[in-house]
Amino acid sequence: MNARKAFIRRRPFSSLGILLLLILAGLIWNWRVQLQVFPSIISAYTAKEYCSCRFVMNNPADYCRSYVKQWLPSTLDEDALNKRITATGLGRESEARWEGPRQGCRLSSPVP
């Protein structure tokens, strides 16, 4: 009997754990681009939706904060004078600003 079959017979849970780790590593490698972009989505969504809630729909700040609240933590900074929102989440920062009554809110270039 070769060594590999003996290892699997003696340690079935270890073998299953190693197999699951290999499958997980393959999935992470396959989705690496999507996983890199995900943190930016959190802050961009928060900034854009909060801006639209506040300046397009003219809702109060408390309502808009509860509207964009997510399971993942994020912070919001509102510049009401310039109608600009900066949101930070998962280490990324995004900014949205009100363009006008017909254009609504737009995400700005990523903040350095």
Q: pLDDT grade, residue 82 (50/70/90)? A: very high
Q: Per-residue DSSP letters for 61-106? A: HHHHHHHH--SS-EEEEEETTTTEEEEEETTEEEEEEEEETTTEEE
Nearest residue to 92 via CA among 34, 29, 36:
36
Residues 6+ apart with CB under 8 A from 15: 7, 8
Look at residue 96 in the predicted model and tell me its pLDDT: 95
Look at residue 7 in the predicted model and tell me its pLDDT: 65
pTM of the model: 0.70
Average pLDDT score over the chain: 85
Kindly list the domain boundaries of the chain, sorted by start residue.
1-30, 37-107
Look at residue 105 in the predicted model and tell me its pLDDT: 94
Look at residue 111 in the predicted model and tell me its pLDDT: 47
Q: Largest Cα–Cα distance of the chain, in whole Å?
A: 77
